[in-house]
Structure 1
Amino acid sequence: MFKTVAVPLALMGVFSFAHADEGQWQPYQLPQLKSELKRIGINMPAEKLADLNKHPMSAMVSLGGCSAAFVSSTGLVVTNHHCAYGAIQRNSTAEKNYIANGFLARGMAEELPAGPDARMYITDKVDNVTEQVMKGINAGMSGKARNEHVENRIKQLIAECEQDKAYRCSVPSFHRGLEYYRIRQLMIRDVRLAYAPSDKIGNFGGEVDNFEWPRHTGDYAFLRAYVGKDGRPADPSSENVPYQSKDFLVVSAQGLKNGDPILLAGYPGRTSRYKLPAEIRFARDVSFPAKVAESRADLAVIAAATQGNAGAGVRYASVVKGINNGLKKTEGLLDGFARKDIAAIKDAQDAEFRLWFAQHGSNKNLLKELDAVIAADMAMSDEEFAWNVASTSELLKSARTLYRLAVESEKPDAERHTGYQQRDMTIIAGKLNRLEQSYLPNVDQARFTAALQRYNQLPVKTHPQGLDVLLPTPESVAGLYQHSTLGETAKRLAWMSKDRKAFEQSDDAFIRLAVKLHDAGMSLENRRKELDGNLERVIPQYMQVVIEWKKSQGKPVYPDANSTLRVTYGTVAPYSPRDGISKGPFTTVEGIVEKHTGKSPFNMQDSLLTAVKEKRYGVFKDSVLQTVPVNFLSTADTTGGNSGSAVLNKNGELVGLNFDSTYESITKDWYFDTAITRAIHVDIRYMLWVMKEVDHADNLLKEMTVKYPAK
């Protein structure tokens, strides 16, 4: 059963003052938000929402980077099309292109494997373990010793939690290291693709419309969880059976209207709401511009290397989509920083805080220590960025992972570095296996060659110490690929069982390079541990007083997103991005017809255009709009990782799927502006309409429990 977690003293009394729709709340915090939920019209009891073993929280799923939800008792899960894109791409070929044509399994026997590294995670227990993690820490510890102590305590807590191998456990920090919670999740290892519309629907508008509004994208897909005949998670097998999900969401086709309340539950990735002004300026002026330039350059290399080769384009479709999504978001952040001086806003807040701290703070050296560790963190981030540029090769990454595994395997399992324990073997194998569908030697070679050229152009002060003399020259890269067999899946996987000596005696070019780079990589990692330990000592003290300061102002206090289950709330609402312009909150299928050009990314399939022309809307026609809504806006607080998150109406029924934010909202990861922050959702009526009128996915419609409007 879900364990009730005590609310930290620093947070008591804060929640009744929460305002607007800002906040990515831990489920246990929701009872303190009763008045807010009642204010917007949510009917579900807050205590029920806080219980992970009760509806609707027990239906929520993490895909390890995206969110999803069960919609049937036989393990059927709905998420975004772009979250299932890897599974779609993995099963596609130039001749059988499920990206372009869509895929529908008419029965469970036709469902396709989502991939060796595909997982579903169902959170069922959360414990506050701050005291256990911090036990034994003393003021005399070095940063590295402190960091390793915390890591070892976390590994012990995880090992205790994973006595039952059906579960995957983690101990993330909250409030930048002030608190630690142990999260227990059932881990489903056999995931299959059940249905995905054509990308003409699932990615209509492509990168042109990404983060834009108005939007007309049917960003949805269905996966299914499978387990062994005993009902427990098992490796993929034809003998497995559909997972019997103890809870699932009722799908409501009754729709929403402007001003209606919504709840949104999912696994948001990372936000930076508590960053200092200096950190914002570093992101704005240094790290984000460098990231944008690097992404653009890498995309250009991939495009040139795959040009004219349809098969290569399919293989790298998922890679390109991922880079493009990150690029558009980072560009949006930079535009947002240019449009609104968030650093200046933070300056004012920071000055106010420091004035308050001078009167109320006890550790007068805290802010000086804080500024010093933040400066060191930014400097090391430059080196880590340079290292990542120099490592832009899938074969090199694989070789380094394999050699590190051999080195760590010499230690007792409990002493291995996180990510290289026995519990991680299937994940490592899955990543190595995945290259079979997303790697071509000529493309990888082109990416590595160009990346080394870019690395050589970075400021020398950002080059990690000792790395330059170890790297190959751009001119010698071709020889590495000619003298390596790591591009072959079976041979790549075989290295998982070899010892350190075998690596050090190998004549495989990439294995030899990985061995040569190992000490330099460990030096950088150990420096990072020292710095992280110092951050873990100083930042929590800072966050404690920030919370007290915010509490004194009656402002909401919630931890930054960290890929754990969160709930946010809001209302369906339009917005004004600039003077004289109002947008939203709904788009309709007529807008698809208007955007359709017959050319990608605005090329809609004929069957859908015909259904709109003939107005075959049926029960999915909105009574106000007099047509089928496609996407809608809400004021919910979301970020990356919330893709696929269930959007619920006031009764807890599924009415939409989160998939994006407006371009003006991207800076919400750093600063939540209530006036313009809007999340973009697929209206579930559009999904149901496409399933019925266009793709004829009648088997899945029958499997789900759909509540239709009264006739």
Structure 2
Amino acid sequence: MFKSIVLPAALPVLLLGVAGHAVADEGQWQPHQLPQLKSELKRIGITMPAEKLADLSKHPMSAIVSLGGCSASFVSPDGLVVTNHHCGYGSIQRNSTPEKNYIVDGFLARTRAEELPGGPNALVYVTEKVENVTDRVLKDLGASMSGRERNEAISSRIKALIAECETDKAYRCSVPAFHRGLEYYRIRQLMIRDVRLVYAPSDKIGNFGGDIDNYEWPRQTGDYTFLRAYVGPDGRPADPSPNNVPYKSKDFLVVSAEGLKNGDPILLAGYPGRTSRYKLPSEIRFARDVDLPGKVATIQADLDVIAAATKGNAAWDVRYASVAKSLNNVMKKSQGLLDGFARKDIASIKDVQDAEFRSWYARSANGSGSGKTLLGDLDAVIAADMALSREEGAYGEATHSDLLKSARTLYRLAQERQKPDAQRETGYQERDLSFIKARLTRLEQSFVPNVDRARWAAALTRYAKIDQKLRPQGLDALVPNAGNLDGFYKGTELADTAKRLAWMGQDVQAFRASKDPFIQLAVRLNDVATKLDERRKEVDGNLDRTIPQYMSAVIAYRKSQGKPVYPDANSTLRVTYGTVAPYSPRDGLVKGPFTTVEGIVEKETDKDPFLVPATLKKAVLEKRYGVFKDPVLNTVPVNFLSSADTTGGNSGSAVMNKRGELVGLNFDSTYESITKDWYFDTAITRAIHVDIRYMLWVMKEVDGADNLLKEMTIKYPKK
């Protein structure tokens, strides 16, 4: 386990010196920064020592885990993990059939033997060590390097650092960038590969309100699921096997049913995905005017195709349930960003901030001499990045087929396997083979040829409408006509999982000799794809040279203003804090911080997604609230709001009280908060959490999950 982190000598003043002056509840903080936030934590009422929160080897941080896209936490010494229902949705869907539909009916394993396999994509990552490796990544990179040379040098050093860290194959290591490439940290995580589904309520609870209520408030969703991590008999991670035993988690969170009230402090720990708080005005305008409108239109069109192609076929509908749910979530978030940009002109706010920064920079010692060059280079590399991303988007439309993506992955793997492992592209090394296999295997639960053909045909039609100047050179001559795809699906064997996986061991010559139409197309597309990759390396390398210089200056500037300095979220472990709080989305309207079980009954209709299980409705009408009744609300709270700083990836994050006890799970944000990924607005930014009391109440009164209630350590209110 790792406790202390050594920072480069030049950075502590810049990165940590202003933390004590943090304003509001803004900031997704690295654990090692928390001792610098003592006054802030004390201000809101957190009693846990900040030093304890900074120690990954001690409770509660040692109980916080990642699922590789979602967050979770251990809640028993036997590897029991709690997360969101939508985070476990893939495992629920994988085990569902039209005859035994766990999505609709829910699932509960009353014994360990009844627990179901989570699938090859279900993983639990336990972060054990974090160390600053900035110097080893960036030292002595020549100023005369091209962008591509710089990108490849950084990539090579990162791969070496990872290989050095992964001598024990029980661990998965990564070296993500912080502050847009100013810093690099090596993170070592225990990777548990046998994860099983333990309990999921019906989606009438876990997804109550569905996409209609997504990002909305008030909300009444029981978005929770339980999984269990298993390891080999020797206690080390192992492939799924009947002989495996529950992982003995070093620490786990105590569950508190005592509840919260308005104004109470909370801590939130998890793995937030991506934020863009330090983006320039030009990048915001590109997102607002080009990228997001295109994304919304494309996803909506794709969803319409899936809905039409699966209509009336229950089996196909189940197969694409997880795909559609994920697309709907991305689309609503993207639309929410557009609406947020329309409601508040964030680009103009950033214009003012950027102008003030540039004026300060020109006056500062940093700005003398090379100042204009840096800012000019910055604008140029960002413009190149945006231009290339449009071509990459066009390529994505032209190749929007799961079978074609599989063929492209397999052919690229064959090419990379000709090289020594250390020289292969990231994502195609020996360490990545199990992930490639898992993705290729996962397709059998979320693929139907007729649906894939319809999605690809629609995407090719959209591609044909893209301005030719925005399409990759040479691609038009290679892609098929949208109305001429039948031969691809009739002539391929890639739809068969075993035959698809068999291509993982084939060499380049076998691909070039193949008669499979998808593989033939993947081979023909290779030159265009390779040129795009090479151009991306050049652009990224130039960004890696310029953006960190800019970020160093921004940090110094923010320090001079007494503003918080934290890195953008990048899927690494972070801690945020806040208070239970209402908000006012517009003049004359205030939305309170709690919803209750009565709201579920009030929202009930005879149509999905507002169907209510009969057992739940009966318990509400009979007011069987027991120890879970809130003394102020006089009923069971369902969801609550807090001012904590969250984003995607924080789904499933533990919401803890001032003592570090589990009181809720993060699962969403209000619609007005979506723009927080770009700009944190204290007045309206609110995260939405499942109140642990509702979860426990459903387990007790609705689903009878007494075995899990007994397994967890629960602190009940004093009588």
Length-normalised TM-score, structure 1: 1.00
Letter in 1 for 2:404: L
1:598 CA drift (Å): 2.2
Letter in 2 for 1:552: S
Q: Please, which of 667, 671, 681 is the counterpart of residue 673 of structure 1?
A: 681
Cα pair 2:597 2:636 within 8 Å, conserved: yes
Alpha-carbon distance between aligned partners in 2 of 1:116 and 1:516, rounded to the nearest angstrom: 31
Alpha-carbon distance between aligned partners in 2 of 1:12 and 1:656, rounded to the nearest angstrom: 29
Letter in 2 for 1:307: K
In the other structure, the counterpart of 1:348 is: 352
Alignment of 1:494-573 (within 5 A): 494-573=502-581
Alpha-carbon distance between aligned partners in 2 of 1:608 and 1:74, rounded to the nearest angstrom: 29
Deviations 1:259-317 (A, max 9, x none): 00000000000000000000000000000000000000000100110000011000000
Say whether residues 1:650 and 2:658 are aligned partners: yes
Deviations 1:366-410 (A, max 9, x none): 101000001111101101111111121100010000000000000
Alpha-carbon distance between aligned partners in 1 of 2:331 and 2:274, rounded to the nearest angstrom: 16
Query: Which deviates the most, 455-464 or 550-559?
Result: 455-464
Q: Helix, strand or coil for the counterpart of 1:555?
A: coil
Alpha-carbon distance between aligned partners in 1 of 2:427 and 2:715, rounded to the nearest angstrom: 44
Structure 2 unaligned regions, length at least 5: none
Alignment of 1:669-708 (within 5 A): 669-708=677-716
In the other structure, the counterpart of 1:452 is: 460
Q: Please, which of 14, 20, 23 is the counterpart of residue 18 of structure 2?
A: 14
Q: Helix, strand or coil for the counterpart of 2:37?
A: helix
Alignment of 1:622-633 (within 5 A): 622-633=630-641
In the other structure, the counterpart of 2:442 is: 434
Q: Helix, strand or coil for the counterpart of 1:531?
A: helix
Q: Helix, strand or coil for the counterpart of 1:476?
A: coil
Say whether residues 1:601 and 2:605 are aligned partners: no
Say whether residues 1:187 and 2:191 are aligned partners: yes
Q: Please, which of 123, 127, 140 is the counterpart of residue 123 of structure 1?
A: 127
Q: Helix, strand or coil for the counterpart of 1:176?
A: helix
Q: Please, which of 71, 78, 90 is the counterpart of residue 74 of structure 1?
A: 78
Query: Which deviates the most, 8-17 or 419-428?
Result: 8-17
Q: Please, which of 134, 137, 143 is the counterpart of residue 138 of structure 2?
A: 134
Alignment of 1:478-497 (within 5 A): 478-497=486-505
Q: Helix, strand or coil for the counterpart of 1:451?
A: helix
Say whether residues 1:271 and 2:279 are aligned partners: no
Letter in 1 for 2:228: R
1:3 CA drift (Å): 4.4
Q: Give the percent of matched residue pairs that are identical in Structure 1 and Structure 2.
A: 74
Cα pair 2:699 2:709 within 8 Å, conserved: yes
Deviations 1:460-493 (A, max 9, x none): 1110111111111112211101110000000000
Letter in 2 for 1:175: H
In the other structure, the counterpart of 1:61 is: 65
Alpha-carbon distance between aligned partners in 2 of 1:157 and 1:177, rounded to the nearest angstrom: 16
Length-normalised TM-score, structure 2: 0.98
Q: Helix, strand or coil for the counterpart of 1:336?
A: helix
1:523 CA drift (Å): 0.4
Alpha-carbon distance between aligned partners in 2 of 1:190 and 1:389, rounded to the nearest angstrom: 35
In the other structure, the counterpart of 2:233 is: 229
Cα pair 2:16 2:565 within 8 Å, conserved: no
In the other structure, the counterpart of 1:313 is: 317
Say whether residues 1:4 and 2:4 are aligned partners: yes
Q: Please, which of 118, 138, 157 is the counterpart of residue 161 of structure 2?
A: 157
In the other structure, the counterpart of 2:263 is: 259
In the other structure, the counterpart of 2:587 is: 579
1:652 CA drift (Å): 0.2
Alpha-carbon distance between aligned partners in 2 of 1:13 and 1:482, rounded to the nearest angstrom: 64
Alpha-carbon distance between aligned partners in 2 of 1:634 and 1:584, rounded to the nearest angstrom: 11
Say whether residues 1:35 and 2:39 are aligned partners: yes
Deviations 1:326-346 (A, max 9, x none): 000000000000000000000
Alignment of 1:463-478 (within 5 A): 463-478=471-486
> Structure 1 556/486 Cα, relative in aligned 2: closer, same or farther at 3 Å?
same
Say whether residues 1:638 and 2:646 are aligned partners: yes
Alpha-carbon distance between aligned partners in 2 of 1:219 and 1:203, rounded to the nearest angstrom: 6
Deviations 1:92-122 (A, max 9, x none): 0000000000000011100111111211101
In the other structure, the counterpart of 2:299 is: 295
Cα pair 1:3 1:127 within 8 Å, conserved: no
Alpha-carbon distance between aligned partners in 1 of 2:213 and 2:121, rounded to the nearest angstrom: 29
Alpha-carbon distance between aligned partners in 1 of 2:472 and 2:238, rounded to the nearest angstrom: 42
1:135 CA drift (Å): 2.5
1:6 CA drift (Å): 3.2
Alpha-carbon distance between aligned partners in 1 of 2:87 and 2:690, rounded to the nearest angstrom: 14
Cα pair 2:82 2:227 within 8 Å, conserved: yes
Cα pair 2:82 2:224 within 8 Å, conserved: yes
Alpha-carbon distance between aligned partners in 2 of 1:649 and 1:478, rounded to the nearest angstrom: 57
Cα pair 2:16 2:33 within 8 Å, conserved: no
Alpha-carbon distance between aligned partners in 1 of 2:614 and 2:534, rounded to the nearest angstrom: 58
Alpha-carbon distance between aligned partners in 1 of 2:187 and 2:16, rounded to the nearest angstrom: 22
Alpha-carbon distance between aligned partners in 2 of 1:542 and 1:672, rounded to the nearest angstrom: 21
In the other structure, the counterpart of 1:664 is: 672
Letter in 1 for 2:597: V
How many correspondences in the alignment? 711
Alpha-carbon distance between aligned partners in 2 of 1:270 and 1:50, rounded to the nearest angstrom: 22
Alpha-carbon distance between aligned partners in 2 of 1:165 and 1:43, rounded to the nearest angstrom: 38
Q: Helix, strand or coil for the counterpart of 1:474?
A: coil
Q: Please, which of 610, 620, 624 is the counterpart of residue 628 of structure 2?
A: 620
Q: Helix, strand or coil for the counterpart of 2:485?
A: helix
Cα pair 1:175 1:559 within 8 Å, conserved: yes
Letter in 2 for 1:69: S
Alpha-carbon distance between aligned partners in 2 of 1:518 and 1:281, rounded to the nearest angstrom: 33
Alpha-carbon distance between aligned partners in 1 of 2:429 and 2:715, rounded to the nearest angstrom: 46
In the other structure, the counterpart of 2:253 is: 249
Letter in 2 for 1:588: T
Letter in 2 for 1:455: Y
Alpha-carbon distance between aligned partners in 2 of 1:603 and 1:3, rounded to the nearest angstrom: 48
Cα pair 2:594 2:638 within 8 Å, conserved: yes
Alignment of 1:191-202 (within 5 A): 191-202=195-206
Q: Please, which of 32, 50, 53 is the counterpart of residue 49 of structure 1?
A: 53
Alpha-carbon distance between aligned partners in 2 of 1:522 and 1:474, rounded to the nearest angstrom: 24
Alpha-carbon distance between aligned partners in 2 of 1:512 and 1:691, rounded to the nearest angstrom: 53
Q: Helix, strand or coil for the counterpart of 2:502?
A: helix
Alpha-carbon distance between aligned partners in 1 of 2:470 and 2:647, rounded to the nearest angstrom: 30
Letter in 1 for 2:455: R
Alpha-carbon distance between aligned partners in 2 of 1:240 and 1:494, rounded to the nearest angstrom: 27
1:16 CA drift (Å): 1.0
Cα pair 2:3 2:54 within 8 Å, conserved: no
Letter in 2 for 1:331: Q
Q: Helix, strand or coil for the counterpart of 2:577?
A: strand
Letter in 2 for 1:68: A
Say whether residues 1:219 and 2:227 are aligned partners: no
